[in-house]
Amino acid sequence: MLEQGTRYGASSVPGEDDTADWYQQACTGFRASGVQQYEISNFARPGHQSRHNLKYWQRQPYIGFGLDAHSMLPTVAGAVRFANTSDLDEYLGDAAPTPFHLLESAANTAAPEFDVVGRNEAFEESLFLGLRLNEGVDLNYLRNKFGDDLLDDAMPALLEVRDAGLLELSSDRMRLTPHGRLVSNEVFNRLLIPSAA
């Protein structure tokens, strides 16, 4: 939208430096008011974090109902995602789909679109989504879930990001630094694993 400059006033979006300054001011102001940051773009008083959003960041299963609803069910090696159509006419066709509609009739034109997430992609998602959280990612969880090889493959990039001051890395946990949260997309791009692409 910013590149097109036409929708929702995107042409008047502030520059990156102003946005970063305001973000840091918001973090400071919220913290002073007892509202803690628990995720890159979410703040809450202790005990009031959004359970809905945390399900996404922690890759927990979710099922969506209705038009354009999305679902994700983990598998042993990755996950399966599926979504109902966003076309209302198609959705209201002969048989209104449910999240389980793909099990009922794969031939129906309104059957949800689904995507199988493999082991490498699930590992990367665990990194990127987990690093959105201020608590970061439990490295022992990654080892137990995906094995040592994927973490070993990611380690050179993790050490590079750590050395740049964007990541705190210990033997059992990694988390973005405050500066790392400001440039999180850059961090995530550096962590892409060549073998998973």
Q: What share of the chain in percent tops pLDDT 90?
A: 58
- Average pLDDT of 2-12? 60
Residue 141 shares a structural domain with residue 74? no
Output 52 or 99, whichever has higher pLDDT. 52
pLDDT band at 166, cuts 50/70/90? very high
Same domain assignment for residues 90 and 123: no
* Residue 166 covered by a domain: yes
Same domain, 150 and 181: yes
Average pLDDT over the chain, rounded to whole?
84
> Does 97 reside within a domain?
yes
Tell which of 117, 151, 176 closes a domain.
117
Residue 36 inside a domain? The answer is yes
Shared-domain flag, residues 74 and 129: no
Instruction: Clarify whether residues 129 and 192 are in a common domain.
Output: yes
The count of domains in the chain is: 3
Residue 104: pLDDT over 50: no
Each residue of 56-102: pLDDT tens digit?
Answer: 899 999 998 888 899 999 888 789 999 988 888 888 875 555 555 55
CATH of the domain at 187: 1.10.10.920
Q: Reply yes or no on whether the pLDDT at 108 is more than 70.
A: no
29 and 76 inside one domain: no
Count other Cβ atoms within 10 Å, centred on residue 158. 18
* Whether residues 150 and 162 fall in one domain: yes
Indicate whether 9 pLDDT > 70. Answer: no
Where does residue 68 fall: left (phi above 0), alpha (psi -120 to 50 degrees), or beta otherwise?
Answer: left
Segment 41-51, tens digit of pLDDT = 999 999 999 99
Q: What is the mean pLDDT of residues 185-190?
A: 89
Q: What is the DSSP letter of 32?
A: H
Q: Residues 191, 127: one domain?
A: yes
- 172 pLDDT above the threshold of 60: yes
Cα dihedral 123, 179, 182, 138, rounded to 10, equals 20
Residue 137 lies in a domain: yes
Q: Do 32 and 75 belong to one domain?
A: no
76 is in which domain, residue-wise? 70-117
Residue 43 — φ and ψ, nearest 5°?
-135, 150
pLDDT of residue 5: 57
Please say if the pLDDT value at position 179 is more than 50: yes
pLDDT of residue 162: 96
> Average pLDDT, stretch 112-130?
89
**Radius of gyration of the chain from its Cα atoms, rounded to whole angstroms:** 20
Dist. CA 136–CA 158, nearest whole Å? 13
Least confident of 70-84, 100-114, 124-138, 179-193: 100-114
Which pLDDT score is estimated for 194? 55
Regarding whether 98 and 135 lie in a shared domain, the answer is: no
What pLDDT score was predicted for residue 10? 60
Mean pLDDT of 121-138: 94
Helix (H), strand (E), coil (C) string for 117-171: ECHHHHHHHHHHHHHHECCCEEHHHHHHHHCHHHHHHHHHHHHHHHHCCCEEECC
Statement to judge: residues 105 and 40 lie in one domain: no
Clarify whether residues 123 and 95 are in a common domain: no
